[in-house]
């Protein structure tokens, strides 16, 4: 297998995404995960631009790295100046990294309008900056900024900038689609042309402004690029960078090119989610390969086929990327969806009529506003309740909620709950800071003497969605509740034009599921 070097720039280019701010400790944690994944290079930041990046490189010097080389990023020396007294070049050397990545101008527009220098002086500072770093025993990678735009404007000069980088000692010359507007066929044509003119290792660095960053990267590799730069989850300025979580599996599984050590591809999903969590961003559930929904199947025909052959509706085995196949239950489901879901929860689905009855109930409830895609515990309960002899841990008789405003106390809520457990009626009341909180407290109070395990159930999330805003305050609402017990987490749903009723349905299901699962050792 041809080897492709993966150069990760999440900690530099990725942090330029709006809304991301990583601490130095965050960057160190992410760097170690990338190292464990097996990327070849980790670009830690721009040491000449801010103290945090300088601190990262200082800490990185004392860290044990398994396989990745840490790279510091910076620009060529100033126009009309030299590298020996340039603060940016000095910061690169002070970082102590084995690799320095230097960005320089390719596009004549940038040379004359941004650098405000001559075309010849730009060639001089490219060569001199790289040669200076090479003389200091650093490996040097050259990023040809705006290369594709520059090549379209003046191909002869764009190629001369690459030759200057090669003369300066760059081990790899990286062609950058910095504005992200090139198309795959343009990338392929230009990379092939460059290979014919510059006999030197090439890399590719693309941005996603035209939604083509991954496609452009693959096109460049097919045309001869052997280093790929990108970020985890495609994070980056504006619309982002090439998404390594798609590029890497595409290269390995579709093009047969080795990017990571053997079997390390299975770590990719975990790395994607880890980086999202550290960056305090919700993971993109619909992201290719590593998203939660990447191998989720909802259509009944699809699921029925996959129960016979998993390859029928999946382009790769999700386990190869560390992901998993999921079956989603909704009004679009068939019997196969429920059978798969029953197997997933370790339940016996029972006879065909029982499955059909549950399926018809799901379709009827979804027509009323329920949604079971994200409420799998509610589906599991429906399957359990359909089994002959099922005994719920409690049965609701009635409940009442009162919300008041009292002088000197403000708003408070009180709920009363009457339930039957093993033939005994339990009637309790409790206060809360809102009606749902009061209901939750009253139900727990009623059940805790019989089911002490309920004390460990924690409300993890509570979501309300208005289903038909045109009805105003009379609109139907859907409530999703996430409950957690240690490391176990489950979701339940309720829907009604009355938000209290919708909340009770989801709340009662969450408690019943948790108690039933605990009773059955699930």
Q: What CATH number did the domain enclosing 399 receive?
A: 3.30.160
Question: Tens digits of per-residue pLDDT, 182-199?
Answer: 999 999 999 999 999 999
Tell me: pLDDT of 354 over 80: no
Reported as a pLDDT band with limits 50, 70 and 90, residue 482 is confident
Higher pLDDT, 299 or 413: 413
Residues 146 and 265 placed together within one structural domain of the fold: yes
Residues 271 and 357 placed together within one structural domain of the fold: no
For residue 111, give its domain range.
5-278
Count: domains in the chain: 3
Instruction: Give the dihedral sign, CA 508/510/516/519.
Output: negative
Does a structural domain hold residue 513? no
Average pLDDT score, the chain: 87
**The tokens of 119 are what?**
């075309």
**Residues making up the chain, counted from first to last:** 522
Q: State mean pLDDT over 211-226.
A: 98
Report the alpha-carbon distance of residue 62 to residue 157 in Å, rounded.
Answer: 42
Contacts 24+ apart (CB under 8 A), 210-213: 210/180, 210/181, 210/182, 210/183, 211/239, 212/180, 212/182, 212/183, 212/184, 213/177, 213/180, 213/240, 213/241, 213/242, 213/243
Residues 223 and 119 placed together within one structural domain of the fold: yes
Tell me: pLDDT of 352 over 70: no
Domain-terminating residue out of 404, 432, 450:
450
Q: How many CA atoms lie within 13 A of 13 on its CB side?
A: 31
Please name the residues in contact with 403: beta carbons below 8 A apart, sequence gap of 6 or more: 411, 412, 413, 434, 435
Tell me: pLDDT of 497 over 50: yes
- β-partners of residue 449 are none
Question: Tens digits of per-residue pLDDT, 16-37?
Answer: 999 999 889 899 989 999 999 9
Does a structural domain hold residue 487? no
Question: Tens digits of per-residue pLDDT, 233-244?
Answer: 999 999 999 999
User: What CATH number has the domain bearing residue 109?
Assistant: 3.20.20.70
Residues 375 and 416 placed together within one structural domain of the fold: no
Residues 370 and 336 placed together within one structural domain of the fold: yes
Does a structural domain hold residue 64? yes
Question: Tens digits of per-residue pLDDT, 280-293?
Answer: 887 898 999 999 88
pLDDT for residue 332? 46
Percent of the chain with pLDDT strictly greater than 90: 57
Residues 169 and 318 placed together within one structural domain of the fold: no
Residues 232 and 114 placed together within one structural domain of the fold: yes
Residues 145 and 212 placed together within one structural domain of the fold: yes
pLDDT for residue 71? 98
Report the alpha-carbon distance of residue 121 to residue 113 in Å, rounded.
Answer: 14
Report the alpha-carbon distance of residue 97 to residue 4 in Å, rounded.
Answer: 22
Residues 61 and 156 placed together within one structural domain of the fold: yes
* DSSP per position, 322-351: T---EE--STT--HHHHHHHHHHTT-----
Residues 381 and 398 placed together within one structural domain of the fold: no
Domain-terminating residue out of 330, 364, 385:
385
Reported as a pLDDT band with limits 50, 70 and 90, residue 117 is very high
Please name the residues in contact with 364: beta carbons below 8 A apart, sequence gap of 6 or more: none
* Residue entry with tokens 């009292």: 406
Residues 407 and 304 placed together within one structural domain of the fold: no
pLDDT for residue 119? 97
Does a structural domain hold residue 498? no
- E-state strands within 156-273: 172-177, 202-206, 227-230
Residues 326 and 446 placed together within one structural domain of the fold: no
Q: State mean pLDDT over 158-172.
A: 98
**The tokens of 430 are what?**
């409790």
């Amino acid at each position: 297998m041809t080897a492709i070097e993966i150069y990760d720039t999440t900690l530099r280019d990725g942090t330029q995404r709006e809304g991301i701010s990583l601490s130095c400790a965050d960057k160190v944690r992410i760097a170690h995960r990338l190292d464990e994944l097996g990327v070849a290079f980790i670009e830690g930041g721009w040491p000449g631009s801010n103290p945090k990046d300088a601190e990262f490189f200082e800490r990185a010097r004392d860290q044990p790295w398994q396989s990745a080389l840490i790279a510091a990023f910076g620009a060529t020396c100033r126009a009309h100046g030299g590298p020996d007294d340039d603060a940016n070049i000095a910061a690169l050397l002070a970082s102590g990294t084995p690799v320095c990545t230097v960005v320089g101008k390719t596009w004549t527009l940038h040379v004359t309008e941004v650098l405000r220098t001559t075309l010849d002086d730009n060639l001089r500072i490219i060569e001199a900056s790289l040669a200076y770093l090479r003389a200091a025993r650093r490996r040097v990678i050259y990023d040809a900024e705006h290369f594709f735009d520059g090549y379209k404007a003046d191909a002869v000069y764009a190629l001369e900038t690459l030759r200057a980088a090669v003369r300066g000692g760059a081990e790899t010359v990286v062609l950058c689609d910095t504005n992200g507007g090139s198309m795959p066929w343009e990338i392929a044509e230009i990379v092939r042309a460059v290979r014919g003119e510059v006999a030197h290792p090439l890399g590719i660095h693309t941005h996603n402004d035209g939604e083509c960053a991954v496609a452009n990267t693959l096109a460049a590799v097919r045309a001869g690029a052997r280093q790929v730069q990108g970020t985890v989850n495609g994070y980056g300025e504006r619309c982002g960078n090439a998404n390594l979580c798609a590029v890497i599996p595409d290269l390995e599984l579709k093009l047969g090119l080795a990017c990571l050590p053997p079997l390390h591809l299975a770590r990719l999903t975990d790395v994607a989610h880890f980086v999202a969590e550290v960056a305090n961003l919700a993971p993109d559930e619909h992201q290719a390969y590593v998203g939660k929904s990447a191998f989720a199947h909802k259509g009944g025909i699809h699921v029925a086929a996959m129960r016979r052959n998993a390859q029928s509706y999946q382009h790769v085995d999700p386990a190869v990327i560390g992901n998993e196949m999921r079956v989603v239950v909704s009004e679009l489901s068939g019997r196969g969806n429920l059978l798969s879901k029953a197997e997933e929860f370790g339940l016996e689905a029972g006879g065909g009529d029982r499955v059909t009855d549950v399926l018809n109930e799901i379709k009827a409830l979804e027509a009323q506003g329920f949604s079971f895609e994200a409420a799998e515990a509610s589906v599991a309960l429906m399957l359990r309740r359909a089994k002959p002899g099922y005994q719920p841990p409690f049965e609701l008789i009635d409940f009442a909620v009162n919300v008041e405003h009292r002088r000197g106390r403000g708003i408070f809520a009180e709920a009363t709950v009457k339930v039957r457990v093993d033939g005994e009626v339990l009637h309790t009341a409790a206060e809360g800071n809102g009606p749902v909180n009061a209901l939750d407290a009253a139900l727990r109070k009623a059940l805790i003497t019989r089911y002490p395990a309920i004390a460990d159930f924690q409300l993890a999330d509570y979501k309300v969605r208005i289903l038909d805003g045109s009805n105003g305050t009379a609109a139907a609402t859907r409530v999703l509740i996430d409950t957690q017990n240690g490391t176990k987490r489950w979701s339940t749903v309720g829907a009604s034009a009355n938000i209290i009723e919708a909340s009770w349905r989801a709340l009662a299901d969450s408690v019943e599921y948790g108690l039933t699962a605990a009773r059955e050792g699930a």
